[in-house]
């Protein structure tokens, strides 16, 4: 039976993500522009990223005022309840800016530092993914499972690239060796959706260096609950150094290969 706290956190995350997704889909200005830049000139924030985070944190704080918050656009609150919300108000901002459909709202709830509920809403796909710890993974309420693993040579692998050009050069080097060894590579532009694509069998695996907690917290739980393995460098959990998620047999080959190729450093 699902812990009643996890169920409550899930329901709140689902409703907050639904509202934010609607705001982003229906409220996207035709002349949407860049409001600010972050780590580099191509790491952009739009007014809608800010509006989405405000909506989500406002909704959750009203209902659970003692919780903590970590949001990409600045939310940072130390709570007193042991629950912390980890929020990416728009994952895939560059897609959103250009009118491409692969963007999502990602909301995870941690209890005492462990992710216990995760929601990734992708409105332009008409899909919402969710999971609670120990309860399986779902797309629009239907259970999802990762794909039975092919050999790495037939695996479809997703990845992503940093906004910093020096890091991109190192990422391109890793890809140069990996690409001839796999079926093909996809660069979708939303880490949260990439992780959900592993969860539902649309990708055999995914890896990326340089993710932050808000990019991966919800998707990591959803992928694990769908039967995928996730991790960072061998023996470590997903981290900013490296995040790998894949069907178990693909993971067993992909993670050591990424270690050997140095995918975890610039
Ligand atoms: C980015 C996306 C992208 C990934 C980047 C992330 P943002 O998040 O998830 O797919 O490659 O590393 O920073 O900036 O659109 O929230
Ligand atoms: Ca993100
Ligand atoms: Ca974002």
How far, in Å, CA of 116 to CA of 171, rounded? 31
3-state percent breakdown (helix, strand, coil) of the chain, nearest 5: 40, 25, 35
Atom of ligand 1 nearest to the CA of 72: 16
Q: Is 191 in the pocket of ligand 1 (CB under 6 A)?
A: yes
Q: Is 215 in the pocket of ligand 1 (CB under 6 A)?
A: yes
Give the distance (Å) from ligand 1 centre to CA of residue 13: 20
Contact 127, 141 (CB under 8 A): no
Query: Which pLDDT does position 39 carry in this prediction?
Result: 87
How far, in Å, CA of 251 to CA of 124, rounded? 29
Q: Is 92 in the pocket of ligand 1 (CB under 6 A)?
A: yes
Task: Give the start-to-end residue ranges of the domains of the chain.
Answer: 4-143, 152-261
Atom of ligand 1 nearest to the CA of 189: 10
Atom of ligand 1 nearest to the CA of 43: 14
Residues 6 or more apart from 227 whose CB is under 8 A from it?
145, 146, 247, 248
Query: Which pLDDT does position 107 carry in this prediction?
Result: 99
Ligand nearest to the CA of residue 214, numbered in listed order:
2
Give the distance (Å) from ligand 3 centre to CA of residue 212: 10
The one-digit pLDDT tens for each residue of the chain (266 residues) are: 789 999 999 999 999 999 999 999 999 998 888 888 888 888 878 999 999 999 999 999 999 999 999 999 999 999 999 999 999 999 999 999 999 999 999 999 999 999 999 999 999 999 999 999 999 999 999 999 999 989 999 999 999 999 999 999 999 999 999 999 999 999 999 999 999 999 999 999 999 999 999 999 999 999 999 999 999 999 999 999 999 999 999 999 999 999 999 999 98
Does domain 152-261 match CATH 3.40.190.80?
yes
Query: Which pLDDT does position 1 carry in this prediction?
Result: 76
Q: Interior CA angle at 80 toward 79 and 81, to 5°?
A: 100
Q: Is 91 in the pocket of ligand 1 (CB under 6 A)?
A: yes
Q: At the topology level of CATH, where does 4-143 sit?
A: Fructose-1,6-Bisphosphatase; Chain A, domain 1 (3.30.540)
Longest CA span, the chain: 51
Ligand nearest to the CA of residue 72, numbered in listed order:
3
Give the distance (Å) from ligand 3 centre to CA of residue 72: 6
Query: Which pLDDT does position 44 carry in this prediction?
Result: 77
Q: In this structure, which residues have their CB less than 5 angstroms from ion ligand 2?
A: 88, 91, 215
Query: Which pLDDT does position 108 carry in this prediction?
Result: 99
How far, in Å, CA of 118 to CA of 221, rounded? 6
Query: Which pLDDT does position 215 carry in this prediction?
Result: 98
Query: Which pLDDT does position 206 carry in this prediction?
Result: 98
Task: Give the position of tokens 């705001």.
Answer: 23
């Amino acid at each position: 039976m699902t812990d009643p706290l996890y169920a409550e956190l899930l329901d709140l995350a689902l409703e907050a993500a639904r509202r934010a997704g609607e705001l982003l889909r229906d409220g996207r200005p035709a002349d949407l522009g860049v409001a600010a830049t972050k780590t580099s000139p191509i790491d952009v924030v739009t007014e809608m990223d800010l509006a989405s985070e405000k909506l989500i944190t406002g909704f959750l704080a009203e209902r659970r005022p003692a919780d903590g918050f970590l949001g990409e656009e600045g939310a940072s609150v130390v709570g007193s309840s042991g629950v912390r919300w980890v929020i990416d108000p728009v994952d895939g901002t560059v897609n959103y800016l250009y009118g491409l459909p692969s963007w999502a709202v990602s909301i995870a709830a941690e209890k005492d530092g462990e992710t216990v509920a995760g929601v990734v809403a992708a409105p332009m796909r008409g899909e919402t993914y969710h999971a609670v710890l120990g309860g399986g993974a779902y797309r629009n309420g239907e259970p999802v499972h990762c794909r039975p693993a092919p050999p790495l040579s037939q695996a479809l692998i997703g990845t992503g690239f940093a906004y910093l050009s020096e890091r991109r050069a190192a990422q391109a080097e890793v890809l140069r060796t990996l690409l001839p060894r796999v079926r093909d590579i996809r660069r979708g532009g939303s880490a949260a959706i990439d992780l959900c694509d592993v969860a539902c069998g649309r990708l055999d695996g995914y890896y990326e260096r340089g993710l932050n907690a808000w990019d991966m917290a919800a998707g990591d739980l959803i992928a694990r609950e769908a039967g995928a393995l996730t991790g960072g460098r061998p023996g470590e959990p997903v981290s900013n150094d490296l995040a790998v998620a894949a069907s178990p047999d693909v993971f067993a080959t992909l993670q050591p290969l990424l270690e050997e190729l140095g995918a975890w450093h610039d």
